[in-house]
Every structure is written in C-alpha cells, then in structure tokens.
C-alpha cells in the first residue's frame, strides 16, 4: 500500500475554481465571436440601394445609420450576448418596424399620418445563418 499525503491526493482532483474560470472564459470568447459574426452578417445584408426593398428582404440603406448602429455586447452576468440595432437619439421605432413590420403614426407637414410597414427582416435571418456555425465555435473552447 502506497501512502499518499492529503495534499498529494488533493492535487489529483479538479480545481473547481480553475475549471469554472476556464469555462467562463471560453463562453465569453465563443459568444463574443458569435455576436461579431451575426452583427457582420446583418450589416452586410443591408445594401446601399435606391428605392424600397421588397417585403421579406433586408431593408435598403439610404443614409447608413441602421448599418452603423448594429452592435453586440457580451453580458457576463447572464453569460449571453445581445446583438442588434441601438436606439438613436429620437428612439425611433424604425429598426423594430423594419424587422417585424407593424403600424405607426408619422408626423408630416399635413399632420399625423398612419403608416403600415411590412417586415423586412435583417437580424433574424443573420442569426439563423450564423447559428448553424455555433457548434463548431464551441469545439475546443475550454482550455
């Protein structure tokens, strides 16, 4: 029978805190990369064109603000990533209306006018396309 000291036996077990830190770092790395990929795909789907895109297709960019303000952020508390257009100064409903469609009231020179938007999704399709690649991002993510 070989005698092992308590310290020698303890070194043979997992260091829970070290494993937890490694998993957290891998999660942050993978989800940040995923957020960057979805953001880039959404931005590139919005092309600079004249006129209005067809319903069901990504919107066309006329000024460039929608593309410019698509961002992502890793939330360490929830261990998740948030991806999408940020609110502008006027807290416009435009990104939500473009993605999902809906009704709104527009202020015009002649007074308020009701407007109906048909969906022109850009975030959902980008997420779905990049989600297929997510399992490969997790491979060997814990070091």
- What are 83-114's pLDDT values in tens digits? 999 876 666 788 999 999 999 998 899 999 99
Q: Which domain holds residue 31?
A: 16-86+122-138
Look at residue 112 and tell me if it is in a domain.
no
Nearest to 38 by CA among 127, 128, 136: 127
Say if 49 falls within a structural domain: yes
> Model pTM greater than 0.85?
no
**Domain tally for the chain?**
1
Residue 36 exposure: Cα atoms within 13 Å on the Cβ side: 7
Looking at residue 19, its pLDDT comes to 83
Q: Is the pLDDT of residue 1 over 60?
A: no
Residue 75 lies in a domain: yes
Task: Answer yes or no: are the C-beta atoms of 41 and 124 closer than 8 Å.
Answer: no
**Is the pLDDT assigned to residue 137 strictly greater than 80?**
yes
**Residue 109 forms part of a structural domain:** no
113 falls within a domain = no
């Amino acid at each position: 029978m070989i005698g092992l000291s308590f310290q020698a036996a303890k070194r043979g077990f997992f260091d829970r805190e070290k494993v937890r830190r490694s998993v957290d770092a891998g999660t942050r790395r993978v989800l940040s990369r995923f957020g960057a990929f979805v953001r880039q795909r959404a931005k590139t789907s919005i092309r600079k064109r004249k006129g209005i895109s067809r319903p069901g297709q990504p919107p066309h960019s006329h000024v460039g603000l929608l593309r410019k303000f698509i961002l992502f952020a890793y939330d360490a508390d929830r261990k998740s990533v948030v991806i999408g257009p940020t609110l502008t100064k006027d807290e416009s409903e435009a990104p939500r209306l473009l993605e999902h469609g809906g009704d709104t009231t527009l202020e015009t020179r002649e007074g308020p006018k009701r407007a109906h938007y048909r969906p022109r999704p850009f975030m959902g399709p980008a997420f779905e396309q990049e989600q297929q690649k997510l399992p490969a991002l997790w491979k060997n993510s814990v070091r």
